[in-house]
Amino acid sequence: MKAIATMNNNGLNQMICVKDSTAARMKVIAHRTGDVVMAAAKAMMIELWKEKAQNGEVVFAFTKRDGSTRIARGTIKFAGSMVNGRGVSRECYATCAWMDLEDGMKWKSFRWNDLLWVA
């Protein structure tokens, strides 16, 4: 666990404790978006997404590259190892890979900062 100090939009300092992987995601998202508070929220949402996707089906929304919003149903329960063809984790690319339950179990991915919500 890592303690991270953040500053919200009102300038108030807050302390949160998160996993090392969540802290790393927060850093990447904050760098991409410039918003530390949003980065913290999205990084914690990714932890929730991963937990639900590993245990079965997860419904979530993300912003696609063309700017449209996609509501998706997916899983990583049957995935085995989460690597691409070169043996590199999707974490290295700041993305989450998932199997699309609505599109024939095809592999898809989204960027961490594009996740909007998890049901």
List the chain pLDDT tens, one digit each, 119 residues.
555 555 555 655 666 677 788 888 888 999 999 988 888 899 999 999 999 999 999 999 999 999 999 999 999 887 655 455 666 677 778 899 899 999 988 889 999 999 999 99
The model's pTM is 0.77
Q: Count how many Cα atoms sit within 13 Å of the Cα of residue 18 in the half-sphere of its side chain.
A: 24
Spell out the domain ranges in the chain.
Answer: 2-118
Q: Count how many Cα atoms sit within 13 Å of the Cα of residue 75 in the half-sphere of its side chain.
A: 12
Write out the H or E segment, with its range, that includes residue 53. helix 36-55
C-alpha angle 93-119-27 in degrees, rounded to nearest 5: 30
